[in-house]
Amino acid sequence: MINVTPEVYSVAQLNNYIKALFEQDIPLTCVAVEGEISNFKNHTSGHWYMTLKDDTSAIRAVMFRGQNAHIKFIPENGMKILAVGRVSVYERDGTYQIYINDMMPEGAGALSIAFEQLRVKLEKEGLFSDEHKKPIPKYPKAVGVVTAETGAAFQDICKVLKRRWPAVKVVLSPALVQGSDAPPSIVSAIEALDRSGLCDVMIVGRGGGSVEDLWCFNDESVARAIYACKTPVISGVGHEPDITIADYVADRRAPTPSAAAELAVPDGTAELERLRSLSARMGQLVGNKVQTYRLSLNALTSRNVMQSPLALVNERRLLVDSYTDRISASAGRKVADERNRFLVLTGKLDAFSPLKVLSRGYSITEGPGGVVKSVSDVSAGDRLTIKLSDGAIGAEVV
């Protein structure tokens, strides 16, 4: 047995030594590893921490903010990826892990995953809801355009607008529409045009290109700028098959910039033809109405009253005289009836008059308490008044 005296290391020295071995191993400085993500954490620092695993094993992995900034999608647990990076040792914990420089999902592409992730997120927040969609004005005075000033899309939009609605004013708010600097440029152009109040409707878009070329219209900041816009927005990005997040958020989606221009303004030729048709219908309706009134007027003028007005007056005079005679006769009969009834009532009243009784030799005796009806109504010494038909006699009870 050979006795060997081991060299003594501190923990830090040992970890540092092992790390140096890893970094000297050329294959470990650039490896590609397939695995499924678990324990994913998007740290507030911007770094991504995760574990890559397969059916039998697992390894820790980290992707720093500087490296993950260009990744279009957000990793999720259960997602299978291909990670490219280097294997090294984290000295503090004495653990080895993969330091990822790039990653791509297996199956669907990174851009496709990023698109779907953002679409689901914004849909849950209600950015695509129909309740938020603003109506496009039918006859806009000015149309705003957010696109590249030198691009063919702007020229196409102007041609369509002027052809369809020559009186419309076109207001350009230029923006970059490709590359990493495009999203903030588009957001700035949208906000500036919206604040200006110079347009009634806004077109946001660009011509065709690859998915990468159009990607700025899948940016979350652009989607939120369109959502917050008070001016109605029509998106016109790429060609017919191209669908972007901006299309979902916009108030109307057009397959191309030229189609967006067609949605923004009416067709002047069609509108003129419609006005001519309405004018013709209006003329016909007015003519029919005039003819109806003319027939009514002819019917009225053909009546006897219009032919001989004096005859109607004389006829009405005779009718008035007839009514007058009937009223006079009725009033005379009424007066006679009332007179007879009055005489009957006065006869009855006269028959019951006390004066009639007195004229036949009767008298009425009144004492202090009124008419004396009994000897008990008076007392000795009471003054009495005896009323006769032709006067009254004073007396005293004895």
Which of 214, 244, 266 terminates a domain? The answer is: 266
DSSP-assigned letters across all residues of 240-291:
TT---HHHHHSSEEESSHHHHHHHHS--HHHHHHHHHHHHHHHHHHHHHHHH
Residues contacting 372, CB < 8 A, separation 6+: 365, 366, 378, 384
- Which pLDDT value is given to residue 388? 73
- Which pLDDT value is given to residue 4? 67
Helix axes 257-264 and 152-164, enclosed angle (nearest 10): 30
Instruction: Please name the residue that has the structure tokens 């041609």.
Output: 159
Distance between first and last Cα of the chain: 185
Q: Residue 1: inside a domain, yes or no?
A: no
CATH number at residue 101: 2.40.50.140
**Interatomic CA distance for residues 98 and 31, integer angstroms:** 9
Count how many Cα atoms sit within 13 Å of the Cα of residue 303 in the half-sphere of its side chain.
10
Torsions phi, psi of 354, nearest 5?
A: -60, -30
Interval 282-291: pLDDT, tens? 988 988 998 8
Beta bridge partners of 207: none
Structure tokens at 135: 């109506």
Beta strands in 106-232 (DSSP E): 142-146, 169-172, 201-206
**Interatomic CA distance for residues 113 and 121, integer angstroms:** 12
Which of 45, 76, 107 terminates a domain? The answer is: 107
User: How many other β-carbons are positioned within 10 Å of the β-carbon of residue 177?
Assistant: 26
- Which pLDDT value is given to residue 200? 97
Strands 80-90 and 391-396 turn out to be unpaired
Q: Residue 124: inside a domain, yes or no?
A: yes
121 and 71 fall within a common domain: no
- Which pLDDT value is given to residue 71? 84
Question: Helix, strand, or coil here: 102?
Answer: strand
Q: Residue 276: inside a domain, yes or no?
A: no
The domain of 29 spans: 11-107
Alpha-carbon torsion 252, 258, 262, 265, what sign? positive
Helix axes 220-228 and 110-125, enclosed angle (nearest 10): 30
Return the percent helix, strand and coil in the chain, to nearest 5. Answer: 45, 20, 30
Torsions phi, psi of 383, nearest 5?
A: -85, 135
pLDDT values of the chain reduced to their tens digit, one per residue, 398 residues: 556 678 888 888 888 888 888 888 888 888 888 888 889 999 999 999 999 998 889 899 999 999 988 888 888 888 888 888 899 998 888 889 999 998 888 765 677 888 888 999 999 999 999 999 999 999 999 999 999 999 899 999 999 999 999 999 999 999 999 998 999 999 999 999 999 999 999 999 999 888 889 999 999 999 999 999 999 999 999 988 889 999 999 999 999 999 999 999 999 888 888 888 888 899 889 889 988 888 888 887 777 767 677 777 777 888 888 888 888 888 888 888 888 888 888 777 766 666 666 666 667 777 787 777 777 777 777 787 877 767 788 777 77
Q: How many domains does the chain have?
A: 4
Q: Residue 173: inside a domain, yes or no?
A: yes
240 and 156 fall within a common domain: yes
153 and 230 fall within a common domain: yes
CB 37 within 8 A of CB 79: yes
- Which pLDDT value is given to residue 245? 95
Question: Helix, strand, or coil here: 239?
Answer: coil
Interval 269-327: pLDDT, tens? 888 888 888 888 998 898 899 888 888 888 877 777 676 777 777 778 888 888 888 88
DSSP-assigned letters across all residues of 63-76:
E-HHHHTT--S---
Interval 224-242: pLDDT, tens? 999 999 999 999 999 888 8
Question: Helix, strand, or coil here: 398?
Answer: coil
CB 225 within 8 A of CB 192: no
Which of 91, 107, 123 terminates a domain? The answer is: 107
Structure tokens at 90: 């984290």
58 and 131 fall within a common domain: no
Structure tokens at 261: 């221009």
Q: Residue 52: inside a domain, yes or no?
A: yes
204 and 319 fall within a common domain: no
CB 366 within 8 A of CB 372: yes
Q: Residue 361: inside a domain, yes or no?
A: yes
Beta bridge partners of 386: 365, 393
